[in-house]
Structure 1
Amino acid sequence: MASPPNEVKPKLSVEHIDALDKRQNGVHLDKFGAATELSPEEKSLVKKLDLRMMPILWFMYFMNFLDRNAIVNGKINKMHKDLHLVGTQYNTCVSIFFVGYLVGQVPSNMLLTRIKPSHYMAGWTMAWAIVSTLMVLVKDYHGLLACRLVLGITEAPFYPGALFMISSFYTRKETATRMSVFYTGNLLASSFSGLIAAGIFARLDGKHGLEGWRWLFLIQGVITVLVAGIAYFILPNAPLQTRWLTPDERQLAHDRIAQDTTQKKGKVDVWKGLRESALDYRTWVFALMQNLHLSANGFKNFLPTVVQTLGFNTTITLVLTCPPYLIAAFASVAVSWSSGRFNERTWHITLSKAVAIVGFVVGTATLSIGSRYFAMVLFVGATYGVNNIVLAWTAGVLGQTDEKKAVSLAIVNTLGNLSFVYTPYLWPDTDAPRFGKAMYASVGFSAGVVLCAWVMRLVLQRDNKKIRATDNEAINFYMY
């Protein structure tokens, strides 16, 4: 097959070429060109990555979400009253975080392909930790608004950067599961943040003249400072530049991702990566899919408030926010593992969203305490696996170059998180206890995700036919 104009072929090692020869002979190859089993060397490498890279990324994300969502639990401790917030001012403070969060993601991931991730990611983690800690000093609405905006800017590099790092070390079959395990940092933070907050509020509220919510910001911020310091020494860089991999492991880490990428190209200028991503219409289909998915997830900033409408006291309310997220963590890993195991995306998204839709409908159709709590378990538990599948799918389809993949992940995540700018306004306190506007909107958003997934499936089936038609020796195809 002739190379497209201006395409830069990646430099392949001897081992890489041997592996490609074996794949062309039909050894250990599935219908998409992905390896069906790993060599002992690959298994050892993956285990090392799982034990070194994944835990620190997980802890960083756990603290990322605790710091970001301290405001949610702070409201239960009457933070909004202490700061004299009125009308939609609290909702605006929740929303403004995502303005800063959205602005920085694309340029940040462009830089990440040129700066050592261990330095870059740890540095930004330290920055948001300091901002979060300083929120203890906030006195009014304007101070909280400013801190939330800056917190969003400093947290912006982490999540898309972590996604790029994971996709740079793991194959398509492995990525969804690792992203899901990584995402449990979010889910377990959501699950246990209520319990952590309840303990701090019960023991420290009023101590040394500080309200419980101020102690929450202070304690979590200081812990994140420590995590950032550890991350500086543990995080990997690019596969060929990671100091705790042996030379052979570095080459293997690089080669196996190159083998696994459909229509792989060599390194390009970061601006070309941006241009290629922006001009690929599949980027925008994935972005719409993620936006609709996260629009349906608007409940995550209001779940304690929704649980509170069941009529229990503050402590029990915070405790009851825990089980739905615990179930979601297990379900997310299981669904993502299944998606990777069977190389399937569309049906996993469709069935997950169908369960979530049932939960949204039941949640607003009845005032029964038991039924409403069960509905919360359904729509929380069925939702989060979809996030990891969409992002892993994005990395697999738009990973022709590292620069394009980094930008594409940032664009998809940025436009997905745009939903958190407007969805807080779907949850006014006046809609309690049913929150019908938000629940039925989430039904529509979820249905839109399913439609986008099937459109992408048809697009990729067509793209695979084109690859086969132009190269009868092609061995690598897009997964759907």
Structure 2
Amino acid sequence: MVYREKDLDGGSPASLDRVETGTPYDETLVCPPHTTERKLVNKIDFHVVPFLCILYLLAFLDRVNIANANVAGMSGDLHLEGHEYNNALVIFFVPYILFEIPSNILLKKFKPHVWLSGCMFLFGLTTTLQGVVQNYSGLLATRFFLGLFESGMFPGCFYLLSSWYLRTEAQRRYSFFFSSTTLAGAFAGLLAAAIGKMDGIAGYRGWRWIFILEGILTCVVSAAFFFVLPDFPEDSKWLSEDERAFVVNRLRSEQGASAVERKTSSKDVANVFKDYKIFLGGFMYFGLIVPAYSYAYFSPAIINGYGYGKIQTQLHSVPPWAAAFGFAMILAYLSDKTRHRFAYAVFAVCIAIAGFAILISVHHNRPLEYAALFLVAMGCYSAMPIIVCWFNMNLGGHHRRSVGSAWQVAFGNIGGIIAVYCFLKKDAPLYTKGYSICIAFTCLSVISCIAYYIACVAQNRHREKTVTDVGLTEYEKTELGDLNPEYRYLV
């Protein structure tokens, strides 16, 4: 445990801030005289968080707007039968899962502002093309390429966020970024309700305009984002030289050297998977992806089954997403304040389980069933950013973090394949099988969280009891990352 000077605001004297780390702090490091640490973190917030939030909001919107398009008549116009709509959903996940780790490696190679903005333009273009498909095969093709071009968005953004913030200040930023998904879900309903009224304009059905307009918006924003998306701290142009040095060293004081300049090799990738905690991180996220995607893709259909019309269904899909955003930010604030992750993650998952328990057991009570959807959205979409932040920020070094963060998201998204077959037309309106599967997977997430918590606590205790000064060089410590004996995991 070490202490460092931290100037809390412009006029106040420096105070001591306790930092949980086993890495020696550079006592010569001082915040540049023209600013304070808080002002500098606020500057980082302004240049990093909003742009990543908008990027992922549009990515998630382009991914799930197919649910709103389906309510607006897509399946009927394309003559989709049986499981064909579900197949169109699942094909997205094939390239999305396979290319997440390669994408994070390429992001580091080409720099985030180049890679992310380029992928953003391509998935926006693909979304637009979804609006002009004429048959089932065309829909499958566009969904496949949408998954390919979106594969780097989520793990890439989380990887980039983790490169800017200390572990004890990261959760609010992670949750705010992740809440882009809840805002996207809310916007999807509102936009679909508005765009659906364009039915017949230029000879296109309303569901086609949903894809076309939202895809064009993404392409336009991507062009601007080439110039404004942030890179890693070491490459940032909007920080002065002394600010950049301070930011890099404040991160090193907690997490060790990042080795951003170091190339990630296939051996590095293999070495990451020698740590069993990597697999626990994957299962924590995997258990939540099934209920989360089930909600994102099928909540409009579930709400439609309560007897609402098309426009009312779109509008009623908005409030649960808005509630999820507020709840996620409350838990994130408390998690950072208490410097704890485990209890908040498990609590949020239990909220989701309660929602599914109501949905599977209560029927013909529209207000209660609709309220249960709030619990599902609030629980799933609050727990997921906590779990991802907890796992990502416990990975030390760029090479371990880039691979580990991509692995967690890639493995977790296998659950997306399961989710798209959980809620079939023949099971409507009760969806007993779907709700049962979601409960089972949320329980898997809880079990995995408990196992990961025990693993982190056990390793921290073991390192406290053993000699940490084993003569490792700074290079060797960097190579080990969080496996460095001096490193302590946040629980």
Q: Secondary structure at the match of 1:397?
A: coil
Q: Which residue of 2 aligns with 1:206?
A: 200
Seen in structure 2, the aligned counterparts of structure 1 residues 386 and 45 have a Cα distance that, compared at 3 Å, is: same
Q: Which residue of 1 aligns with 2:278?
A: 283
Alpha-carbon separation, structure 2, partners of 1:198 and 1:296: 25
Q: Secondary structure at the match of 1:351?
A: helix
Give the TM-score of the pair, scaled to structure 2. Answer: 0.88
**Alpha-carbon contact 1:42-1:252 (below 8 Å) kept:** no
| C-alpha deviation, 1:401, in angstroms | 1.5
The count of residues paired between Structure 1 and Structure 2 equals 455
| C-alpha deviation, 1:228, in angstroms | 0.5
Alpha-carbon separation, structure 2, partners of 1:75 and 1:302: 10
Seen in structure 2, the aligned counterparts of structure 1 residues 312 and 112 have a Cα distance that, compared at 3 Å, is: same
Q: Which residue of 2 aligns with 1:243?
A: 237
Q: Secondary structure at the match of 1:236?
A: coil
Q: Which residue of 2 aligns with 1:363?
A: 359
Superposed CA offset, 1:217-261 (max 9, x none) = 111111111111111111121211111111112112211222221
Out of 62, 71, 74, the residue aligned to residue 66 of structure 2 is 71
Seen in structure 2, the aligned counterparts of structure 1 residues 32 and 337 have a Cα distance that, compared at 3 Å, is: farther
| C-alpha deviation, 1:463, in angstroms | 0.9
Q: Which residue of 2 aligns with 1:478?
A: 489
Q: Secondary structure at the match of 1:287?
A: helix
Q: Secondary structure at the match of 1:434?
A: coil
Alpha-carbon separation, structure 1, partners of 2:371 and 2:21: 39
Alpha-carbon separation, structure 2, partners of 1:457 and 1:264: 24
Moved more, 236-245 or 264-273: 264-273
| C-alpha deviation, 1:67, in angstroms | 1.1
| C-alpha deviation, 1:470, in angstroms | 2.9
Out of 284, 303, 309, the residue aligned to residue 307 of structure 1 is 303
Aligned AA for 1:77? A
Q: Percent identity?
A: 27
Q: Quick check: 1:86 aligned with 2:81?
A: yes
Q: Secondary structure at the match of 1:133?
A: helix
Aligned AA for 2:45? D
Q: Secondary structure at the match of 1:364?
A: helix
Q: Which residue of 2 aligns with 1:258?
A: 252
Please tell me the root mean square deviation across aligned C-alpha atoms, in Å. Answer: 2.2
Give the TM-score of the pair, scaled to structure 1. Answer: 0.90
Out of 368, 373, 378, the residue aligned to residue 375 of structure 2 is 378
Q: Which residue of 1 aligns with 2:478?
A: none
**Alpha-carbon contact 2:463-2:486 (below 8 Å) kept:** no
Q: Secondary structure at the match of 1:426?
A: coil
Moved more, 261-270 or 142-151: 261-270
Q: Which residue of 2 aligns with 1:457?
A: 453
**Alpha-carbon contact 2:4-2:16 (below 8 Å) kept:** no
Seen in structure 2, the aligned counterparts of structure 1 residues 294 and 18 have a Cα distance that, compared at 3 Å, is: closer
Gap regions ≥5 residues in structure 1:
1-16, 21-25
Q: Quick check: 1:423 aligned with 2:419?
A: yes
Alpha-carbon separation, structure 2, partners of 1:105 and 1:327: 30
Q: Which residue of 1 aligns with 2:102?
A: 107
Q: Quick check: 1:466 aligned with 2:462?
A: yes
**Alpha-carbon contact 1:364-1:372 (below 8 Å) kept:** no
Q: Which residue of 2 aligns with 1:14?
A: none
Q: Which residue of 2 aligns with 1:346?
A: 342
| C-alpha deviation, 1:476, in angstroms | 4.9
Out of 209, 221, 230, the residue aligned to residue 224 of structure 2 is 230
Alpha-carbon separation, structure 1, partners of 2:69 and 2:347: 35
Q: Which residue of 2 aligns with 1:139?
A: 134
Seen in structure 2, the aligned counterparts of structure 1 residues 248 and 411 have a Cα distance that, compared at 3 Å, is: same
- Report matched runs for 1:314-329 at 5 Å: 314-329=310-325
| C-alpha deviation, 1:337, in angstroms | 2.0
| C-alpha deviation, 1:33, in angstroms | 6.2
Superposed CA offset, 1:19-57 (max 9, x none) = 59xxxxx9522555699xx97632122111111221111
